[in-house]
Structure 1
Amino acid sequence: MAYTLGIDLDIDQVKLCLIHVEGPQKVPYVDWLIFRVPFHFGPDYYCEFGGALMETIAQFLYVKKIDPQQLNKIYFLSGMPYSAFGSYEEGLHYTANVFIQSLFDPEKVGIVRADGKPFTPRELFSVKGENASAFVATQFYGSAYLASRMYKNAMVVDVGSRETHITPILKSRIDPEGRARLARYLRHRLTHHQFMPHGALYTSVNQIKQSAQLKDQEYPFTARVCRMVVIASLLKYIHPEIAREHDFPLLQENDAYILLARAIGLDLKTISPKELHELAQVIYTDFCDYLGHSLQEVMKPLGRQQEQLQLVSTGVAGKHMMEHAFRRNQLIKERFVHFADKLPHRLHEASNAYGIALYAMERLMDETFPPEKVEVLP
């Protein structure tokens, strides 16, 4: 029996995916969960980062009745969890120490670089300077790996609660041109519409646009933070349970109206709920249009090759947002395959953790497993 664990860590949340296979040619069993990790910025951040993460993983394995030493491979992807460190290099080396001092055999741990190469924790100490950035915002690799196993040429749009990743797959290779210079790959993604710090719940509405047009009037956003979870609470484009799992529970409708009114400098005495609902729809449409435009910008350099691409959506809001983004372009809309429909039992919510766990299992077993044909444990 073989076990692999995929870890997808962001600033205050971790997604864990455990895969076990009982033998060759057997169907993999998948178990996954999303946990809030109580990270705190400040002088205690270092110890709380490692301690909280390892406690979370240990609790997950304890509930599943698995000893940490039973794990054959542990692959780790990160979002942007190193924000409190002086540099990505410092955060990366800290992460290496966390795993070296953990219950796991560090030789079984792979910190995955943006090109899919896993590094053992001790190998990370040789990564210096700008090269450390190739280990940051690598979450995209999990869902991109799944797509590369299913389609020869594809474009993956992963809309999460905080961030959006757009990744091309060409001849079953994950973004071969973009990754040509790994030390500059993070900068490449940020400046080429492939990595956007905009998500379906956490993003503040004034990150999307500075104002919103309602009928013939333009309302500038104030400095007050109004996150997309407010919009989701009114338009219901994310299921309440999913929002809660991602640590952004949907608000009561009246509370959402109050916050949205404040975001444009008004209150419920000066603007009606009906107008605010229309405003929420405008903001949502602006966001979806922005993502749709970004996707087309990523595809544009591919020329005629883009006609061969299978478009794939994943993440907590990928399906809903891509369908709305291309509501007027039926040709593109019909080209989408949604992991929400393709993967069993909501695995699309943790597609990066699942993808990297499957990647680890396939390397371990030297065998391929169809990503959509797995048994998800309740």
Structure 2
Amino acid sequence: MRVKPSKLEGSVKAIPSKSFAHRALICAAISDGVSQIIFDKTSDDIDATINCLRTLGAKIEKFESGVRVKGISKLDNIPIVDSKESGSTFRFLLPLASTIYGQVIFIGEGRLPNRPIKDLMDVMKHRGVEFDSECLPFKTNGLLSPGRYEISGDVSSQYVSGLLFAALNLNGSSEVIVNTNLESKSYVDITVEVMRAFGADIIEKGNSFLVNESKLKARSYNVEGDWSNSSFLLVAGAFGKVSVNGLNKESSQGDKQILKILEDFGAEVVISDEVIVASRDRNPIDVDLKDIPDMLPILSILAASVDGGVSRFYNASRLRLKESDRIKSTADLITSLGGKVEERDDELLIYGTNGLAGGIVDSHNDHRIVMAAAIASTISENDIVIKNSKAINKSYPTFFDDFADLGGKI
């Protein structure tokens, strides 16, 4: 895809939060009765969760503004759960499925078979589940038992969320204890928030989560707007003027930190019924990515736009385990467009070059690299060609529609 230089101006509606949608769908699938999950746009990852829940025995039908979900009814066959490329789907449903079925086959695509899962598997082995392989594809054998689960929190917060879903579906009480620093804690906060909305009894104390036996109740649930994907368009506002509506200002989503980062950068930020970002100043930024790892690609565009100075993004080691090695793919993004970076083990330094020249970007099949490359056109002298732009379907299939509505030139 070829994107021409342009400034973005106008207003768009935030797409539904992928993080909230995954969790609401899963809670609905282990609730009694029929729930309505309201979200007007989907993505490959959300569809992966829907299809996997169907495989496990949930009945899910789509309607104009969302889906209706009838709780899981155990099937006679051994389910084959295909998470596609969705790490959330895989890590959430691996423990949960093992509370329902004594044997499950898990498969996946892209980089998913190479992404970390060992710590979660080890915990499950201690609670009654065996695996015929240490990486995807594999078959499980055995059912999880209730009790005490200890898991690291410095590799993926999705391990913790997956165990919380499983604990909710076990008889009696279970405790999930995080025995390291819990990174990306906001994602676990979202898990707990959605579970409680469906009636879960969870007591949180520090890094311990006591999940008491609960009977979840079907309900209608509205999925809030997505701060993570909206951040790409909000950053474009820092070079023009963009407003995004449909965002929850009190959201648990960690990526709402984009507002403070944009203020530190020097953009004008106005929060009312909409979130409005407009061009003003451009300053180097220092950002700790420990709790907002998905932000690096789009923040790199802010950093490259500055006239001089160096921006630093640190505590980023987990980014090497994403859909791409996201430290390297972000570094490649900036250098391929004429910028200057310094890549280190767990951080990235980006030099302010007062914009970018343009060029050809390899997306590395990473949806966030595609969107960041498109937004880079707002600070580029020449066209940007993005290889494998279809990777956006993972999280934001209508991104280029919204981009064009704001004045982006494709």
Name the TM-score, length of structure 2 as normaliser: 0.26
Return the structure number with greater strand share: 2
